[in-house]
Amino acid sequence: MEEKETVLNYGRVSYAVGEDGEARFLLNGELDHHSVKEIREVMDGKLTDYRPMSVTFDLSGVSFTDSAGLGLILGRYTKISGYGGALRLVGVSEEFMKILKLSGADRLFPVEARSEKRRIRV
Amino acid sequence: MKRKAINEMKMIFLSDSKNESFARSAVTAFAAQLDPDMEELADIRTTVSEAVTNSILHGYRGTSGKITVEVKLFDDRSLRIRVSDRGCGIEDVEQAMQPLFTTDKSGERGGMGFAIMKSFSDSLSVKSKPGVGTVVTVTKRLK
Ligand SMILES: Nc1ncnc2c1ncn2[C@@H]1O[C@H](COP(=O)(O)OP(=O)(O)OP(=O)(O)O)[C@@H](O)[C@H]1O
Ligand SMILES: [Mg+2]
């Protein structure tokens, strides 16, 4: 889907949709209670308008996530699975992987760890 | 032998959600004196974020109030972080600390804050009184 996709930028979140209807959200910066509000609005707008069946959240540009980031993902997971779509997470940091495992969210949808070379430096 | 405090700091800020990022950066910068590794630093950052966010979101519920964060560093490479608010307090602390428990009705919270703080530190204590406020204390021993 890399080749033929349209990328729309909305601050901390970009939305990429491929010709096959696959959708990818690229999240950037810190995902905390302060920042998730605006990200959530953009994501919900796109999910409501296009109802993509195969959705990827790419977290490789995320430098921090806490329980508010987990809440953001769980809320969107509920929405996507509600209309019959599937979600998967890629680019997950080691720290956020611990949170996903602790909550059991890693058993709800496929979760892929961030590769070494793409790791965000702090 | 009793551990000895080697440094301490205290900061007070308003319950504005912009201060979540400020608080975790300030505490990790201070804790850097103990030379934590990347994972320990990330654990401290997340723990502070959870406690401060709870004070803003649940303690003060969008109203303006003061949050105090105190950090003490000890000679045995441990640190103690205390986050206090004078918000609404917690009726049932034991229930609040259960993983997945949340009083939030929006469906946007996992109820994982206390579980994360517990898992990412060595000890977690929560003292709270309805109408008075909440004090969350975590300690962590670095490698
Ligand atoms: N400082 C506080 N003042 C008042 N109530 C609090 C405070 N901290 C926590 N609580 C209460 O304890 C509950 C559990 O907190 P916890 O952080 O575990 O989950 P959450 O904040 O609801 O969800 P999440 O942290 O996953 O976003 C909260 O829903 C809230 O009712
Ligand atoms: Mg919380």
Domains of chain A with bracketed CATH: 7-118 (3.30.750.24)
| Cβ–Cβ pairs < 8 A, chains A and B | 71
Is the CB of B102 within 6 Å of ligand 1? yes
B3 CA → ligand 2 middle, Å: 31
Which amino acid is present at B86?
R
Is the CB of B109 within 6 Å of ligand 1? yes
Is the CB of B43 within 6 Å of ligand 1? no
DSSP 8-class letter at B73:
E
Q: A45 pLDDT exceeds 50?
A: yes
Rounded distance between C-alpha atoms, residue A31 and residue B107, angstroms: 17
B96 CA → ligand 1 middle, Å: 7
- DSSP codes, A16-36: EEETTS-EEEEEEEEESHHHH
Pick the residue whose CA is nearest to atom 2 on ligand 1: B59
Q: Which ligand is nearest to the CA of B101?
A: 1
CATH H superfamily, domain B5-141: Histidine kinase-like ATPase, C-terminal domain (3.30.565.10)
Give the percent of chain B with pLDDT over 70: 100
- Residues B28-62: pLDDT tens digits? 999 999 999 999 999 999 999 999 999 999 999 98
- Residues A56-113: pLDDT tens digits? 999 999 999 999 999 999 999 999 999 999 999 999 999 999 999 999 999 999 999 9
A39 close to B (CB below 8 A): no
Q: How many angstroms away from the CA of B33 is the closest CA of chain A?
A: 17
pTM (whole model) above 0.90: yes
